[in-house]
Amino acid sequence: MEKMLRVSSSPHIRSKDTVSSIMRDVVIALLPATLAGIYFFGINAAIIIALSVGTAVVTEAGIQTLRKKKVTINDWSAVITGLLLAMNLPASAPWWIPVIGAIFAIAIVKQAFGGIGSNFMNPALAARVFLVTSWPIEMTTWVAPGADAVSTATPLGMIKEGSTAQLPSLMDAFIGNVGGSLGETSAVLLILGGLYLLYRGVISYRIPTFYIGTVLVMTFILGGFNIYDSVYSIFVGGLMLGAIYMATDYSSSPITAKGQIVFAVGAGLLTTIIRFYGGYPEGVQFSIILMNIATPIIERYTAPRVFGGAKK
């Protein structure tokens, strides 16, 4: 046996999952809701998505090249950030909004903190909050679904202003035929993608179910024990998109099972409180960002009990 043999530490086999296979699954899961966004909001939605994804990928490659690091745009993570950002923007936003947002998300929130796995906030969400606070008019001018781009209020906006007479039906909210960010409206397709991610083992059920469940229960309590209203509340706004795709961001959510539940319940409480008592009609983005910041401390207090260790 003259051959050179490889010697390495066990284990000698590895699973088929890779970072890019996982990230690609997330893109696949987001596709139905993305296409629905283009269907509901027309060509401008497609342009925003293209600009956002394109800018995110170019920014990632550019920064990694500048820093003489390995360019990792093949791992699809920049694509996801760009796509999620676009899905959080109004279809009527001017072209520079997704461009600035994507640069901020990748350059400041992701790469400045060390790239994939090291960002402490969800890059797309942080960018969205940055855009809302910097350009509030552009970021809150909503259009109704349809080719003629009539401006409208979101269902949550209507609830906040008390103009509940024009509220779209529960069915319209469920399939996404309402005003809102271009990728957040179709609850049914977002759930479908979420089920795919669960099936593929990319996310666990914990964050989405506890987050959405908390909003459901809290809206029921704070809203005067109205079942219809509380069910309605989980299908509108950014909750589905946020709970399934943004709060589950690996690097900005807890790694421990218990921590994920604490994180999700916290986000649910904050979301409902902002929706009911805050200045903004929607609280999903701020809630997730706040819980992102709390993640390290949640992890510290929710470390799993070691096998054979004292039961707590």
Partner 1 sequence: MGLLSFKGGIHPPHSKEYTEDKPVVIAAEPAMVHIPLRQHIGAPASSLVKVGDVVKVGQKIGEAGGFVSVPIHSSVSGIVKAVKNHAILGGSTLTISIENDMENEVHESVQPKGKLDDLSGKEIVEIIKEAGIVGMGGAGFPTHVKLSPPADKKIDVVILNGAECEPYLTNDYRLMLENPSDIIFGLEAVMKVFNLKEGYIGIEDNKPEAIKVMKEAAKGNPGIKIVGLRTKYPQGAEKQLIAAVTGREVPSGGLPMEAGAVVNNVSTAAAIATAINTGMPLIDRICTVTGKGIKEPKNIKIKVGTMISEIVEQCGGYEENIGKLIMGGPMMGIATHTDQFPSTKTTSGILVFTEEEARIPEESQCIKCGKCVETCPSFLQPSYISAYALINNLEMAEKYNALDCIECGTCSFVCPSKRPLLESIRLAKREILAQRRKTK
**Of 12 and 279, which has the nearer Cβ to partner 1?**
12
> CA angle, 264 as apex, 262 and 267 as ends, to 5°?
105
Q: Whose Cβ is closer to partner 1: residue 160's or residue 200's?
A: 200
Whether omega for the bond prior to residue 11 falls within 30 degrees of 0, making it cis, is yes
Q: Tell me the closest approach of the beta carbon of residue 271 to partner 1, in angstroms.
A: 23
Measured from the CB atom, the residue of 141 and 256 that comes closer to partner 1 is 256
Spatial separation of the C-alpha atoms in residues 282 and 4, rounded to whole Å: 62
How far is it between the farthest Cα atoms of the chain?
Answer: 83
- Regarding 255 and contact with partner 1 (CB under 8 A), the answer is yes
Q: For residue 256, state whether it binds partner 1 (rule: CB under 8 A).
A: yes
Footprint of partner 1 on residues 65-84 (CB under 8 A)?
A: 72, 75, 77
Q: Using CB under 8 A, which residues numbered 138 to 167 contact partner 1?
A: none
Select the residue interacting with partner 1 from 112, 221, 257, 297 (CB under 8 A).
257
Distance separating the N- and C-terminal Cα atoms of the chain:
55
Q: Coil, strand, or helix at residue 298?
A: helix
- Name residues contacting partner 1, limited to 110-129 (CB under 8 A): 114-118
Per rule CB under 8 A, is residue 3 in the interface with partner 1?
Answer: yes
Closest to partner 1 by CB, 181 or 251? 251
250 in contact with partner 1 (CB under 8 A): yes
Give the relative orientation of helices 77-87 and 19-41 as an angle to the nearest 10 degrees: 20
Residue 137: its H or E element:
helix 136-139
Site string for partner 1, 204-243 (x = CB under 8 A): x---------------------------------------
Using CA atoms, how far apart are residues 44 and 151, in angstroms rounded to an integer?
Answer: 14
Q: Chain-centre distance of CA 42, in angstroms? A: 22
- Cβ nearer to partner 1, comparing 111 with 154: 111
Query: Measured from the CB of residue 112, what is the shortest distance to partner 1 in angstroms?
Result: 15
Beta partners for 181? Answer: 90
Cα(41)–Cα(290) distance, rounded to whole angstroms?
A: 30
Interface ranges with partner 1 (CB under 8 A)? 1, 3, 5-15, 17-19, 21-22, 72, 75, 77, 114-118, 204, 250-251, 255-257, 303-309
